[in-house]
Chain A
Amino acid sequence: MQDFVTAADTLKSAADGDSKLIEQICLDMWEPLYRFLYWKVQNREEAEDITQETFVKTLTYLQEHQSPGDNFLGFMKIIALNIIRDRWRQNKRRGVPINIEAVSLEETAGVDPQTLIAQRLQIENALAKLSEDQRAVLDLRIVKGYSVAETARLVGKTEAAVRTSQYRALQGMAQILDDSD
């Protein structure tokens, strides 16, 4: 198991530009941070970008501030969440509004396994309330990652019907999740 408690003097030296220590911290910690971010943004490109930005901002912050204490990974997750929020604000300024809801920010950066299980159950619960047809389309398009054309072939519909079906299915999902709040 990896140890995510990183000594204050190690962090300070890394923040001052010690390449070896920066490499060590990056190699030790990239994966849990990346997984956390992927869980939020659900695509590799964005998760990779924000992982890098988080390391840079964290170490930059530590050049002038005290080490965050024991939970360095938790500290980085908070910075990562701030970056996601900042991205949202920037997009909004550019006139491409994205609802902050889309990135599913919580007020805490820690995501424990029970939380993940609870979320999973809630999503699966919502899926179970959809029609069989809608479930199949979401399963193929989003969970299994098939294209519209492949999904159309698999379920025996036209591509336009698949697009309409997935739209309605997601409307249904959103409504169910709204109602369960």
Chain B
Amino acid sequence: MDTPENRLSDYIDALNVERDPEKHRGSADTPELAKLLAAVRLVRSLREPVLPDPGYPQRLSQAVSGNIKKHNPANLPQVAVTIPESGRRIYEKAGWWRRRWALPSVTIAIAGVLLFAFLTNGAGLFNRDVAYAMEKAVDQLSSYHGVLETRTTNAAGKELEVRRMEIWYEGDKYAVRQDDDTLSRQFDGTLTVDNGERRWQVRPQDKELELIPPYPPDSYVDLRVEASWALRYPHTVVGSEAIAGRQAKKLKISPPGGLPYFLWIDAETNLPVQSQTALQGGVQTTSTFLSFEPNVRIGPSIFTYNPPAGYRVIEDNPMQLVATAQEAAVTSGLTPLFPQEAPNRIFASKGRIVLDYGETGIMETVATGSFESKFLNNFLLGTAAGGPLEVIQGIRLRWRQNGIEIRVEGPQTVELARQIAPDLTLPDPGADLVGKAQVKVPADLESAKAEQLQADAGHSPSADKVSPLEVSFTFVNLKVSPQGTSGAPKIPYTSCKLVANNGAEAVVAVADGPVNQVYLKRLVRQDTGIWSVVGYDSR
């Protein structure tokens, strides 16, 4: 039925799928409806803009170029342009939507209070969806004090580590004390404090206090992060269990391209009580709040920087909060690269700058040595600033630009990174990387499936197959020594270098031996599956 309610709803639907509502759904036919559509746009401006796909800038420049060439300069259409300096008004008097932009400070203050009220109420309405209810409950959490236990187990269920930590959290401040390692029965007592301006660690066993970088943040402390991820991803309630003496709903969360993980949410308070990662690389971690006191008063002393008497203070190039980009440049000695979007906070120390965007952080350091990672062997490769771009789990990027190494991590990663490196190109999972292999290696899908099961269960050596470098390293050494070798392999691991990886296919260059390049494919499962060699080039 073509009622105003339906037309308004259609309009919202069109915007939600990023389509031009006027083009696809028609538009307002009464001033009343037009006003409501404008209100929709205003409310929608609270969310971040959706950027075009990576190919848009190139398509744009080609289309513009083609269009300009078609124009005959002798017969150009005139474009109505009004220059601000002329003092003329560009548009007629607008109506109800015209805001008085320069709001009086009192109005802003009142709005702030109302905004706070808006953010701090809203319980009880949404018990039909657990994740949404959790987000609302977490929104109301101004502070908490709790004890979190973290258990790490292997595929067989054997406990590898059990740690407990006491957490105090209030707004942008937190303190975490590592209480003890239950298995080794060793008391730790290390206290990490972030008071929003600086972060430090107090180590009683060594009688030391060290000022440490504020990045990356201990995101597990801020329950809003967990709640926002749960709501963002597809989720289903899969059961109800008693956790730490409280009845909790078990939520299965399935991030696109990743393995599902679980969250248990207190049935009464709607706050998370336990999380459990997927079994990855043979290890699974379960974190449980053994105790949790929401909205408690936390004495300010715990967040106050006050080195205990007799402690050695280590200030090894500590980061400090700075106010401007210029101050960051002076402190760091870098010429920083800033996105257009202003950060919430800027931290700087010699040779390093951190831009804090809430859930997303950017770290800039002096680029030294080789770009290749010494620690990671399973990342995707794109391009940025004319060089390689390391992509990890879709939300961590690393590249070099103007002599600076840039790392961006968080949900806003790509958007912010593109503001620094507009040419940034993410790996294309549809690209054919393996088709040009000189020698094809027959794929054994059944064997790959069996190995995938082994790898998922954490059994080595199948677990090693999650890295294209590991697989290539084994492959080239078996080429040299088909019977296997004892002692050091003939072709060292360092000879293998990842040159392309789009998540589905990969290419590894080998510096030594009879094989020049190895071509690999994830036969069973893209993004998280094991790698199989499907071809190679001889040297």
Contact = CB atoms under 8 A, between A and B. Distances in A.
Interface of A: 1-2, 14-17, 19, 22-23, 26-28, 30-32, 34-35, 38-49, 51-52, 55-61, 63-64, 68, 74-75, 78-79, 81-82, 85, 87, 91, 96-110, 113-115, 118-125, 127-129, 132-133, 135-136, 138, 140-148, 153-156, 163-164, 166-167, 170-171, 173-174, 177-178, 181
Given A42-B15, A98-B28, A174 B96 contact: yes
Contacts of A56: 64, 67-68
Given A49-B20, A118-B103, A142-B43, A135 B12 contact: no
Nearest to A141: B12
B110 A63 contact: no
29 contacts: A1-B337, A2-B340, A39-B45, A42-B15, A42-B40, A45-B23, A48-B60, A60-B76, A91-B22, A98-B22, A99-B34, A100-B94, A102-B28, A105-B90, A106-B98, A107-B91, A118-B102, A120-B46, A132-B121, A143-B46, A144-B231, A155-B126, A163-B5, A166-B8, A166-B9, A174-B96, A177-B39, A177-B99, A181-B99
Interface stretch (B79-87, B290-298, B431-439, B500-508): B79-87
A57 B77 CA distance: 9
A123 B64 contact: no
A125 B39 contact: no
B261 to A, nearest CB: 21
Given A60-B77, A153-B129, 14 more contacts: A1-B325, A17-B69, A22-B68, A27-B57, A28-B422, A43-B18, A44-B18, A49-B20, A63-B76, A75-B81, A79-B79, A81-B90, A118-B103, A119-B42
A148 B5 CA distance: 12
Contact of B98 (A47, A61, A99, A181): A181
Given A17-B69, A123-B42, A125-B111, A32 B103 contact: no
A96 B77 CA distance: 26
B81 A82 contact: yes
A116 to B, nearest CB: 8
B91 to A, nearest CB: 5
Contacts of A19: 65
Contacts of B29: 96-97
A106 B101 CA distance: 10
B9, B31, B121, B128: residue with the most chain A Cβ atoms closer than 10 Å: B9
Contacts, number: 308
Contacts of B52: 34, 44, 48
Contacts of B69: 17
Contacts of B43: 123, 127, 138, 142-143, 170, 173
Contacts of A138: 43
Given A98-B22, A124-B118, A156-B128, A68 B340 contact: no
Interface string B19-54: 111110011110100111111111111110111100
Given A105-B91, A122-B111, A32 B64 contact: no
Contacts of B102: 118
Contact of A38 (B49, B56, B132): B49
B100 interface: yes
Contacts of A40: 41
A78 B50 CA distance: 22
B8, B21, B47, B65: residue with the most chain A Cβ atoms closer than 10 Å: B65
A6 to B, nearest CB: 14
B47 A55 contact: no
A59 B61 CA distance: 12
B423 A27 contact: yes
Interface of B: 4-6, 8-9, 12-16, 18-23, 26-29, 31, 34-47, 49-52, 56-57, 60-65, 67-69, 71, 73, 76-77, 79-84, 89-91, 94-103, 108, 110-112, 114-115, 117-118, 121-122, 125-129, 132, 231, 325, 337-338, 340, 342, 418-419, 422-423
Contacts of A31: 51, 57, 340, 418-419, 422
A41 B45 CA distance: 9
A16, A136, A142: residue with the most chain B Cβ atoms closer than 10 Å: A142
B84 A74 contact: yes
B50 A99 contact: no
Contact of A45 (B13, B18, B338): B18
B44 A48 contact: no
B45 A120 contact: yes
A143 B15 CA distance: 11
Nearest to B46: A143
Nearest to A109: B84
Nearest to B337: A1
A154 B38 CA distance: 25
A69 to B, nearest CB: 8
Contact of B45 (A61, A105, A119, A167): A119
B79 A15 contact: no
A145 B68 CA distance: 37
Nearest to A154: B129
A29 B522 CA distance: 39
B42 A177 contact: yes
A38 B50 contact: yes
B61 A26 contact: yes
Contact of A43 (B14, B46, B101): B14
Given A155-B126, A163-B5, A101 B100 contact: no
Nearest to B49: A38
B12 A142 contact: yes
A102, A147, A163, A173: residue with the most chain B Cβ atoms closer than 10 Å: A102
A170 B8 contact: yes
Contacts of A156: 126-128
A99 B57 contact: no
Nearest to B16: A145
Contacts of B132: 140, 154
Given A55-B60, A82-B81, A177-B97, A143 B47 contact: yes
A148 to B, nearest CB: 6
Nearest to B339: A1
Contacts of B34: 97-99, 101-102
B128 A101 contact: no
A30 B60 contact: yes
